[in-house]
Chain A
Amino acid sequence: MIKRQTTLSGNIVAFCRNLRKYDFFIGPNEEKDSLVAIELLQAYQEPGMMELCLQTTLCKTAKQLKVFPKLYKRYWKELDKAVDSKLEEKEDKSNTTAQQGKQAPSIQVIKNWLYGNKSEDETEMAAYSDLAVTGRSSFPGFEDREMKEVFQLVQKLVKKIANRRSRRFSTTHKKAQIDLKKTIRKNILRNGELIEILHKAKKKEDLRVVLLCDVSKSMELYSRFLIQFMFAFQNLFPKIQAFVFSTSLYHISEELNHYSIDQSLQKVLDKVDTWSGGTKIGSAFQSFNDDYAHKYLTSKTLVIVLSDGWDTGEAELMGTEMKKIHRKAMKVIWLNPLAGSSDWKPEVVGMKAAIPYVDALLPFYNIDSLKSVVKDLKI
């Protein structure tokens, strides 16, 4: 809703407030900058100049730069309309509601089931489409003993990850590199006679983990174990970002952050509406690269992919997206449930396309295989 402001500064501030809704990080400082810039250039005399002034002072990322002209035009247009009356912004909400409407019944099926409404004769059937099959998955209650074992194993894995050495130094008692600065300070008393020598060693590396887990139909057999694994990982290692994908991608870190696994599972199922559907690994990775890679992939990020590589999308896309991930991340580890059997070869087209960009491919399907992953994984 835009109210007409009578002064230029009032309008600029209102515009800044409007931008904040679109993820611009604008505080009083930025507002001040823009006003100073406009004053400096007397930009209010020329609309083009004014836009450029505001763009330069208010945009801080490439993405913001891209959407700015549109937002700018829309704002002033709205402002013109807002002469006396209050105008409600009519965002193109119609589109989104229509989409939600399409998928709503199928989500409802899972939700009903989740919240204890387990009637066999369901009123709604899960809808089938080429794009996504939304079905229900069966997760019998998680046994405490089993969960405990997963936790212990993941704990070991986490230790392994957390113990990597960084390039930075900290003081140590071991005989390592000499820390000259501290040594000199310590020995000033002895007139620079270096008697007590201090050492420094490389600090622990601050590693992060991104988990990409396939929850399509072909992975259904292992879903239960994967959920346990992700839940344990998320709870033991705070620097992890967990995603699940089938035909599209979902960020589920927040959902996994609950006290109990059942609670987490419920939240995850609430969010993910294409559980046990088809697989489009390529496009799922593409949306990861587009939306999250900038934020979560660094040269200190370990990417763990949990998937069998069965892909109904384009193999070429999968290759290019895997390449992007591989280039940005420290390491890509692919845990494949099928890799366990002796006669398995990466012959699925998708898997073949991805293999060049995978640093380690390990079998992964139950607790025993997790044990060997913990043992064999070199980070």
Chain B
Amino acid sequence: MKREGIKDLNSVLTSQGYIADKAITMAVYLAQKLQRPLLVEGPPGVGKTEIAKVLAKAADTELIRLQCYEGLNAEQALYEWNYQKQLLALKMMESEKLSVDEKEGMIFNEEYLLKRPLLKAISMDKSPVLLIDEVDRADEEFESFLLELLSDWQISIPEMGVVKAKHIPQVIITSNRMRDLSEALRRRCFYLWIDYPSMDKELKIVRRKVPEIDEKLGTQICAFMKEIREMKLEKIPGIAETLDWAQALAALHIDHLDKEVVEDTLGIILKDWKDIRETGLSLSELFEKTGVIPKV
């Protein structure tokens, strides 16, 4: 049965500490099998970037990360020429009688090329995982650079010609939906939307990542997070915050939530003072909803 493949992938992800639901496993599996980039969207802190890290670890291969930002350009993402080295080479060639064309050919070749993440990713000996993080932060022009790479697995360098990929890397692209990505980019990728986890899933993640946590406390934390995400907050906490909180509380040897504990540690899950103030004010209500009875 070929369907074993998908089960294997799921257990590999789980063994690396990544709890994936059906949709995630399917998307990753098909992206691997059909050699397509995987575009992952979702709110911050739900484990978009984590997928790439886990995949690299599982395949025991290198993770090449390109963090996008406004103004990111080809030199920083694809390649740049090593100008100092080129100048020195030209000096050394001074005595040789070479034509301009010959010299140009010598200094514009791979030896003088500084490989930036994208070029590096396609010229490695073992297929790496390429993480293009927060692609929505880069300019729209940058997306066009990506298109050639993602559909034909090659990069054109005007001075040298086309560099073809030695091995096709596994590409994970993440986006926070700051702006809409172009249709052209979307069409080249498989698409995955990761939302805030269900309580069950979050509890599984917490138990997996913070095994020392008290069972009751784990449940309370996840129930509390679920309610907090329903509130109108400036910054909704993600799984990363849940884990931080769980770790902190476990380290403090706390076995259940009470008002005092929550008040003292709210800063771990909420990163905006307004959120902290408002949550602080509606703590009793939150406790009621989560079924936790605060000790007076």
Query: Do A and B come from the same complex?
Result: yes
Instruction: Give me the interface of A with B, judged by CB distance under 8 Å.
Output: 25, 27, 29-30, 33, 36-37, 40-42, 49, 52-53, 55-57, 59-62, 64-65, 167-168, 180-181, 184-185, 187-189, 191-192, 194, 294-295, 297-300, 328
Complex partner residue of A188 from B6, B107, B178, B191, CB under 8 angstroms: B107
Complex partner residue of A191 from B93, B104, B180, CB under 8 angstroms: B93
Complex partner residue of B186 from A49, A56, A60, CB under 8 angstroms: A60
Complex partner residue of A42 from B1, B83, B104, CB under 8 angstroms: B1
Contacts of B83 in A (CB 8 A): 180-181, 184
Once A and B bind, how many residue pairs between them come within 8 Å at the CB atom?
A: 105
| CB pair B186 A61 closer than 8 Å | yes
Chain B interfacial residues counted at CB < 8 A: 47
Bound-complex Cα distance A181 to B183 (A): 33
| CB pair A52 B26 closer than 8 Å | yes
Do A25 and B30 contact each other (CB < 8 Å), given the known contacts A52-B22, A56-B23, A328-B178?
Answer: no
Bound-complex Cα distance A29 to B186 (A): 13
Residue of A at shortest CB range from B195? A62
Contacts of A328 in B (CB 8 A): 178-179
| CB pair B1 A53 closer than 8 Å | no
Residue of B at shortest CB range from A36? B34
| CB pair A62 B3 closer than 8 Å | no
Complex partner residue of A65 from B22, B179, B191, CB under 8 angstroms: B191
Given A29-B187, A40-B33, 13 further pairs, Cβ under 8 A: A33-B36, A41-B3, A42-B3, A52-B22, A52-B23, A53-B26, A56-B27, A60-B39, A60-B183, A60-B189, A64-B191, A167-B139, A181-B81
| CB pair A188 B103 closer than 8 Å | yes
| CB pair A59 B2 closer than 8 Å | no
Contacts of A29 in B (CB 8 A): 187
Contact with A along B92-110 (1 / 0, CB 8 A): 0110000010011001000
CB of B41 within 8 A of chain A? Answer: yes
| CB pair A294 B190 closer than 8 Å | no
Contact with A along B78-100 (1 / 0, CB 8 A): 00010100111111011000001
| CB pair A185 B190 closer than 8 Å | no
Contacts of B107 in A (CB 8 A): 184, 188
State how many angstroms separate the Cβ of A171 from the closest Cβ of chain B: 15
Complex partner residue of A57 from B90, B94, B186, B190, CB under 8 angstroms: B190
| CB pair B179 A294 closer than 8 Å | yes
State how many angstroms separate the Cβ of B67 from the closest Cβ of chain A: 16
Contacts of B2 in A (CB 8 A): 40-42
